[in-house]
């Protein structure tokens, strides 16, 4: 187990920040456009329960697509693999995260995987509960247990901002509804999905959730099983094959850590058996992944030999 030290992490953050000028903050969700592209923070949560961090780790980051992995874990627990994979596939796409193209090309027209927006919408549709409130509360309760933080909630402002502008996601929903993948009211699903994406937390919370996946679903402090081993395994596998969208192949070669990104600039990473990593760096590359965050992870992976391959 490498000894992560703060001075080294601070130095790596400063190095990676140099790349911020080549990135761009997401602004298709207007509230995300307010982020500072020069911000970069990281927390590493090791299996012995210690945290080393650098940058301003008090800043909260909305999960955006990172929430897809958590919603997937919840519906796998709720409904089991067979039911979930009847509605969503297991294959990477090579397309951007919000692409509609494959829905038309592939028959039956179920989304190819739960990490692209179409697949995530199908997964969110499967969150059990009698109302949007009950469903988001169930997801929040699950996320709070994983993070060991009862304070976690969603940002009303970011949820509302996405709800008002998510026309492409609405198109995906209508397509899915036409083809029988979902059968609920589209506005209701968008309400739930935008709240799910707006769940916010610090890098330390992200790192702790990453560690739960790294420990095959176990709470790092109590040892309690927070999700079945198979659910943790499926989620980590999707992180490797689709977690960084159409950059997943390059990420696997250069970094080799199961990880999930979000357009807010967050990254959650799980180094099996060793640590969870949470990063916030809102300067994005052209595929919607944190440019500075990926540079930072690459440095960490090379320095501490973290690749699983």
Catalytic site residue from 13, 245, 294, 295? 245
Query: Which segment (1-9, 37-45, 126-134, 257-265) binds ligand DON by CB under 6 A?
Result: 257-265
DSSP, residue by residue, 68-98: HHHHHHHHHHHHHHHHHHHHS-----SS-TT
Residue 68 annotated as catalytic = yes
Burial environment of residue 154 by CB neighbours within 10 A (0 to 12, 13 to 18, 19 or more): buried
Verify binding: residue 162, ligand DON, rule CB under 6 A: yes
Instruction: DSSP letter for 2, please.
Output: -
CA angle, 191 then 192 then 197, to 5°: 100
Return the residue of 37, 92, 119, 262 that touches ligand DON, per CB under 6 A: 262
Q: Do the Cβ atoms of 38 and 17 come closer than 8 Å?
A: yes
Residue 41 annotated as catalytic = no
Measured from the CB atom, the residue of 148 and 288 that comes closer to ligand DON is 288
Tally Cβ neighbours within 10 Å of residue 101. 10
Query: Residue 47 Cβ, how far from ligand DON at the closest point, in Å?
Result: 27
Query: Residue 289 Cβ, how far from ligand DON at the closest point, in Å?
Result: 6
Q: How far is Cα 20 from Cα 37, in angstroms, rounded to an integer?
A: 6
Q: How far is Cα 140 from Cα 127, in angstroms, rounded to an integer?
A: 12
Query: Which segment (106-114, 144-152, 210-218, 260-268) binds ligand DON by CB under 6 A?
Result: 260-268
Residue 264 annotated as catalytic = no
Catalogue the E-assigned strands of 125-223.
153-154, 199-201
Q: What is the phi/psi pair of residue 126, to 5°?
A: -85, -5
Catalytic site residue from 68, 110, 195, 236? 68
Return the residue of 65, 202, 246, 248 that touches ligand DON, per CB under 6 A: 65
Contact string 85-124 vs ligand DON (x = CB under 6 A): ------------xx------------------x-------
Residue 290 annotated as catalytic = no
Measured from the CB atom, the residue of 122 and 215 that comes closer to ligand DON is 122
Q: How far is Cα 176 from Cα 138, in angstroms, rounded to an integer?
A: 24
Query: Which segment (73-81, 123-131, 137-145, 256-264) binds ligand DON by CB under 6 A?
Result: 256-264
Instruction: DSSP letter for 269, please.
Output: E
Verify binding: residue 64, ligand DON, rule CB under 6 A: yes
3-state secondary structure 212-263: HHHCCCECCCCCCECCCHHHHHHHHHHHHHHCCHHHHHHHHHHCCCCEEECC
Verify binding: residue 155, ligand DON, rule CB under 6 A: no
Q: Which residues are catalytic?
A: 65, 68, 193, 245, 263
Q: Which residues bind ligand DON (CB under 6 A)?
A: 64-65, 97-98, 117, 162, 169, 197, 261-263, 288-289
């Amino acid at each position: 187990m490498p000894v992560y030290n703060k001075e080294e992490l601070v130095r790596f953050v400063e190095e990676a920040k140099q790349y911020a000028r080549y990135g761009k903050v997401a602004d298709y969700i207007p509230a995300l456009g307010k982020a500072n592209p020069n911000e970069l923070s990281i927390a590493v949560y090791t299996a012995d329960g210690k945290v080393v961090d650098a940058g301003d780790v008090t800043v909260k980051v909305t999960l955006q697509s990172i929430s897809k992995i958590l919603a997937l874990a919840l519906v796998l627990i709720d409904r089991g693999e067979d039911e979930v994979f009847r509605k969503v596939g297991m294959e990477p796409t090579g397309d951007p995260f919000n692409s509609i193209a494959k829905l038309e090309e592939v028959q039956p027209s179920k989304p190819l995987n739960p990490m692209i927006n179409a697949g995530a919408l199908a997964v969110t549709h499967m969150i059990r509960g009698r109302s949007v409130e009950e469903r988001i509360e169930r997801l929040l309760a699950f996320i709070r247990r994983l993070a060991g933080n009862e304070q976690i909630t969603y940002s009303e402002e970011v949820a509302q901002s996405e709800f008002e502008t998510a026309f492409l996601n609405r198109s995906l929903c209508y397509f899915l509804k036409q083809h029988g993948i979902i059968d609920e009211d589209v506005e209701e699903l968008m309400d739930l999905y935008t709240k799910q994406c707006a769940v916010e937390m610090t890098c330390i919370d992200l790192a702790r959730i990453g560690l739960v996946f790294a420990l095959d679903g176990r709470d790092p402090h109590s040892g309690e099983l927070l999700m079945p081993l198979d659910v943790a395994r499926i989620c980590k596998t999707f992180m490797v094959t689709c977690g960084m969208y159409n950059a997943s192949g390059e990420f696997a070669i250069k970094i080799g850590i199961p990880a999930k990104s979000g357009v807010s600039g967050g990254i959650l990473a799980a180094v099996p058996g060793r640590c969870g990593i949470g990063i916030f760096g809102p300067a994005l590359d052209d595929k919607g992944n944190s440019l500075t965050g990926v540079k930072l992870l690459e440095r960490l992976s090379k320095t501490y030999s973290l690749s699983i391959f």
